[in-house]
Amino acid sequence: MTTTKQDLIARAETLAPVFAARADEIDVARRVPDDLIATMTDAEFFATIAPKVYGGLELGLDSFAEVVRRISAASPSAGWVAAFLMGAAWRLLVFPREGQEEIYGARNYVLGAGAAQPIMGVVREEGGYRLTGRTAWNSGSSHAEWFTMNGVLVEPGREPELLIFALPRTEVEIVDTWHIMGMRGTASCDVVVKDLFVPDRRAAPFMPALAGRSAGHALHANPMYHIPFLPFAMNEVMPVIVGTHRGAADALLDRTRARMGTISGAKATEKATAQIRLAKALVQAQNAETLLDALVTRNMVARPDAGDPVNRSEMKLHAALLTASCLDSINEMACGVGGNSFRDDAAFQRYFRDLNVVARHAFLDVETAGESYARLVLGLPVTDPLI
């Protein structure tokens, strides 16, 4: 029987309480436990958007977003790791077919991590390239079997070229640097390579991928594989942010029902200020989910202008503004949850920490995104390398 979007959503809803119950464990371990990764594998989450030619489900980005949002509402760290391990099935299609077939192997999913910042130690050799460098923020490194690394090739008489490489886990060094205030369970560690040879089949130019014109993605007919790289990355990130916000709103609801004034003894449920704050939080969570749906739907439509810098910049700004809205909302919630909600065993403090950390992602800076979009609309040059 073919797995459907509804099947995946039902599985995510069933598993959400399991992730919620183990959210503290995930934080303390600074990684998602192996058995939960196995559970997500069995649920077919990692095959959600993998191409059918490799045995994947090839469901839409909406299926992806719905699963990630539900996991993130239970455990933001688990949701973030799920998003990037699920998204690897799309990201690693940037490589030539021979490379894709090697990476997928005999399975219908890929466990992959990677980072955006490029290394400079790239040398062309016969049949491939030799790499030396270090990258940070490799989310999901604890379980990734493949890593992508960007690198700048500089050769005399030629313009610098931005390339992307796929590296097996056995050929990289993972450095445990992940000690941070929020998103503690994502294992976003550093990765080091030293004098590593990468064959041509696992190398590709990165600039065409930014515009949605990757030769590797073009091997697959589904329009989902032809969107620009950054809008797809936002499709990974935004369900985590919106799901985390929903988790915080639900935690506020539970706290409001249970809270009593330390001095007055009055029930929070009977206070107008608590009622209004709760109402705003719950409806803002609904609004964020509606806006997320709109962004995902826009990504799924085959648009001739999808690769245009103006469209990519506009999508980036939409994501940044939605993130800012969720951040403002959770910070307002924090004014009314009481001190006990910031104890280590309280759910709300985890959502608060996690959203305040993930919202600082460089891709989600409102000022940078706004400047780029305005300059494009005004016909001025932009310097954002991702646009």
pLDDT of 27 > 80? The answer is yes
pLDDT, one tens digit per residue, over 182-235 is: 999 999 999 999 999 999 999 999 999 999 999 999 999 999 999 999 999 999
What pLDDT shows up at residue 205? 98
Q: Are the beta carbons of 3 and 67 closer than 8 angstroms? A: no
What pLDDT shows up at residue 261? 59
Side chain identity at 149, as an amino acid letter? M
Give the tokens for residue 242: 């919106």
Q: Comparing C-alpha atoms, which of 331, 318, 327 is closest to residue 363?
A: 318
Mean pLDDT of 250-260: 86
pLDDT, one tens digit per residue, over 142-167 is: 999 999 999 999 999 999 999 999 99
What pLDDT shows up at residue 272? 85
Predicted confidence band of residue 265 (pLDDT cuts 50, 70, 90): low
What pLDDT shows up at residue 228? 93
Predicted confidence band of residue 30 (pLDDT cuts 50, 70, 90): very high
Side chain identity at 49, as an amino acid letter? I
**Region of poorest pLDDT, from 103-112, 241-250, 277-286, 335-344:** 335-344
What pLDDT shows up at residue 338? 87
Q: Are the beta carbons of 69 and 8 closer than 8 angstroms? A: no
CA distances from 257 to 73, 252, 274, 345, 347 (A): 19, 9, 10, 18, 15
Predicted confidence band of residue 268 (pLDDT cuts 50, 70, 90): low
What pLDDT shows up at residue 264? 59
CB atoms within 10 A of CB 286: 11
Pairing of strands 128-138, 189-199: antiparallel
pLDDT, one tens digit per residue, over 37-73 is: 999 999 999 999 999 999 999 999 999 999 999 999 9
What pLDDT shows up at residue 300? 85
Share of residues in the chain with pLDDT > 70 (%): 98
Q: What is the DSSP letter of 19?
A: H
Query: pLDDT averaged over the chain?
Result: 94
pLDDT of 6 > 60? The answer is yes
Residue 305 vs residue 181, higher pLDDT? 181
Residue 149 vs residue 117, higher pLDDT? 149
